[in-house]
Structure formats: structure tokens, C-alpha cells
Structure 1
């Protein structure tokens, strides 16, 4: 019965999700590195092939490159699982219209033929339900963004503003996963595993590949202001 849901057009395509995810990270990284460089918290200028490169460009290039590497790894992991497992999507009957008609009696039927006349691409895609690559990429972007802002997006203003932005990114990924279930593209377990894959890759790539501790010790901007020493009382003569 879980395969008899109607077919719906997806509201968030792979291209749209990819553009939004990369745009979020690229804009955030570049803006953050420029601000840090102007505050004197950057790595300074670097020499590359005899040319002097501003530090914020080097840091942005490194961070975005590592983010892209992690995105490729998590996407490859999800796609390998899709083709190996081949779980049917919830709209399988609507897309395939299998013959002979499957009765409600519990049974495994492997010998059937799709008679819906749908394109070969749709018939292939209906077998790629587990895990949800949309959910995996969305959660990967959200967790990477949250960790990056937590480490490098520090300012003297309200901390709630930073945490509010982090929460918004997490809710954006959560919405992407929910939309995949509501639009009958995935089972809830497909989305759950996709979230786990994306979160795991984001944490691993950020901690062990990007290595945020290389940014150095906290500067005076992040450290609490030292308490002023009290004047010594004059010694009595």
C-alpha cells in the first residue's frame, strides 16, 4: 500500500537545490572572510606562483573547494546506495501501472511489465527512492553552514542573531526533507537516512578536512576584556 500514492511534480528540483546550497555557502564564506580580513583577523596575504594574493581570497577558495569536495562525496554515497538497493518510490503504481495487476494479497511479484507509457527516465527514477539525495545535500549544506558560522562568524552583536540564522538554515533543510515525503517522492525512512548521510559528511569534512583549528588562537576580539587593576593603596609612613 505504501507504493500506491499518486504521482506529484516535485517543487524543488535538483538544479534549484544545488544552486541554492552553493549560493548560500559561497556568499557566506566570501562575506565572512572579507569582514574578518578588514578586522585584522585574517591570515594575511599569501604568495602563489610569484603573485601576491589577498588572504580572504585564499581562505574563500580553500573553504569553498573543501565544501565542494564534501558535497561530491555525500552525493556519490547517496547515488551508490540508490542504484544498489533500488527501492521503489511511493508513486510506483502511478508511474509504472504494472501488469499483471498486483492484488492486495501479500506477495512478492518480480515478473511484471510497466504499461503506463512513461519515459524511460521516469521508469528508471521510480527505483531510486533510498536514500533521499535531496535531503542528504540539504542537510550537508545546513550543517556545514552552521559549523562555519559558529567558528568564524563571531561579532560583538547579539549572539541570538547568529543562532537564529543557524536555525533558519536547519529548518530549510528540514523543509526540503518534508517536501520529499509530502510530494510522494520518498518514504520517511529514505529522508531520515539522507539527513544522517548529509550531517555526517558535513561534520567529518569540516572537522578533519577543513580543520577549523588552523585559524589560530582567539584574538583579542573574541577574548573577554581584561579587568582593570585596582590602584595600590599608598603605604602608611
Structure 2
């Protein structure tokens, strides 16, 4: 590796590490500021249903699947029989795509978690898991400005982080990113509907996972809408930075030429 490539790898690694640290810092060190609740609000009086698959594993599944799919596609189109120069270019393109996607996922994760903690929006099952020490019927106008939850602390913590939906945001980012990637990567001239079918599967899986959260009383519809919008916009921006919307493709050959000089 030449100096130019070393500098790029070092810069990318530092930026990615900073993003990962920021994501975990926001998740585990920041604390949600409690706010008052309205006991008459029926949107937070739903029953708690233990999810079949937790949000953590859903987010992990979408992220890992996207990474595996990207690597599989890049390896399937890798110029194994070409000379060393096309191989270098292919490796740099694969590295760029994967690093940009990984950075986007962790950056959005930090932003979504920050919004959840900052807003402190209660989930539909908030009152069920909180079990406030104030009796709603004895409070004027059924509004409790200050109260203490007597329920399970871990459930109460997550019950204060409804807006926006992390699953909707992360699944939308990964699946929309893959849909744009497929559209840019493959022409599918012999099977033109194959690409459309694959894109439909990606987007539908994201939508189904998001809608299921409403059915499980984990999120409100507004949380889902905002999460999908954030994920779609983030994926579109990442794809734009990779020049997938332009006729000219991402060119890393200049960097390789400079490193050889």
C-alpha cells in the first residue's frame, strides 16, 4: 500500500471509530429527562406485549444482512481473472461502499437514539410498565407533572424512547440503500423484472418490520412515519455520495494512480 491509501484508510478508520464511540456514548451514558404524562391519554394505555424479536436483534439482522448482501454481490462481480489494476479498483470500490454504509448506519443510530432520549416520548404501553405512584383519578385534569415509576426499570427506560422508531429508521436505511445499490449495480436486461422484485422484497421487509411494532404496542404511527422518512433520506444521501444517481460511476482509479507514482 502506498502513502495515499494509508492516509485514506487511517482517516476512514478514525472517523468510523469516532462515530461508533458516539453511538454507544449516546445509548448508554445519556439519560432521558422525565416529563409529565396525561392519564387520560389513551395512546399510552395499551397493554405491554413482549416482542417476539427484540428491537436490538431486528436492527442487527437488517444491518448484518445488508453487509452480507453487499459483500456477496461485490465478490460475485469481482474481476478474478483480470490484471492487478482492475482488481485494485474493484477492491477500492467495495471498500468505499461498505465503509460508507457502515458509517451511515452508526451515524444514524447515534442521531436516532439522541432524539429518543431528548424527546422522551412514551410508548403506547408506557402506563402499563411504568405503574406511576400517583393515582390518576386523584389528580386534577388527570395530568401528572412529576411522578415515580414503580415498574421494571429496564422496561420503563425503553418505554420513554418511542420517537422516532429505531427499527423503522435503520431498516429503511439498509433496505433502501440495498434497493438503490441493486438498481445501480445490475442491469438485468434478460430479466428486467427480477431487479424490481428484489427491490420490492427489500422495501416490503422493512415496512412489515416497522408496521409490526405498532401491532405490538411498541410504537405510535408517527414514530414509524418519522423513522421511515429518516432512514429513506439517509440512504438516498449515502447513495448520492457514491454517485449512484449519476451516469458517471464512482471512480477510485485516480487515487490508485497517484499512489503508484
Q: Normalising TM by the smaller chain, what interval?
A: 0.7 to 0.9
Question: In the aligned structure 2, how far is the partner of 1:149 from the partner of 1:105?
Answer: 57
Question: In the aligned structure 2, how far is the partner of 1:13 from the partner of 1:99?
Answer: 28
Do 1:30 and 1:56's aligned partners in 2 also have CA atoms closer than 8 Å? no
| CA displacement at 1:205 relative to structure 2 | 1.2
1:133 to 166, 179, 186: 166
Partner of 1:163: 196
Q: Residues 151-187 of structure 1: CA distance to partner in whole angstroms, max 9, x if unpaired? A: 0022332111111010011010001111111111111
| CA displacement at 1:77 relative to structure 2 | 1.6
Q: How many residue pairs are counted as aligned between the two chains?
A: 206
2:65 to 18, 24, 41: 24
Give the number of the structure whose residues are more often helix, by fraction: 2
Do 1:142 and 1:173's aligned partners in 2 also have CA atoms closer than 8 Å? yes
Q: Report which of the two structures shows the higher radius of gyration computed on alpha carbons.
A: 1
C-alpha RMSD of matched pairs (Å): 2.5
Partner of 1:58: 92
| CA displacement at 1:31 relative to structure 2 | 2.6
Which residues of structure 2 form unaligned runs of 5+? 1-41, 252-261
TM (norm. structure 1) is 0.78
TM (norm. structure 2) is 0.71
TM-aligned CA distance change 1:15 to 1:127, over 3 Å: closer
Do 1:87 and 1:129's aligned partners in 2 also have CA atoms closer than 8 Å? yes
Which residues of structure 1 form unaligned runs of 5+? 47-54, 218-237
Question: In the aligned structure 2, how far is the partner of 1:19 from the partner of 1:137?
Answer: 9
Q: Residues 105-136 of structure 1: CA distance to partner in whole angstroms, max 9, x if unpaired? A: 844311222233x1x22221111111101110
Partner of 1:90: 124
1:211 to 223, 233, 243: 243
TM-aligned CA distance change 1:140 to 1:156, over 3 Å: same
Question: In the aligned structure 2, how far is the partner of 1:113 from the partner of 1:28?
Answer: 46
1:144-163 aligned at under 5 Å gives the runs 144-163=177-196
* 195-204 or 23-32: bigger deviation: 23-32
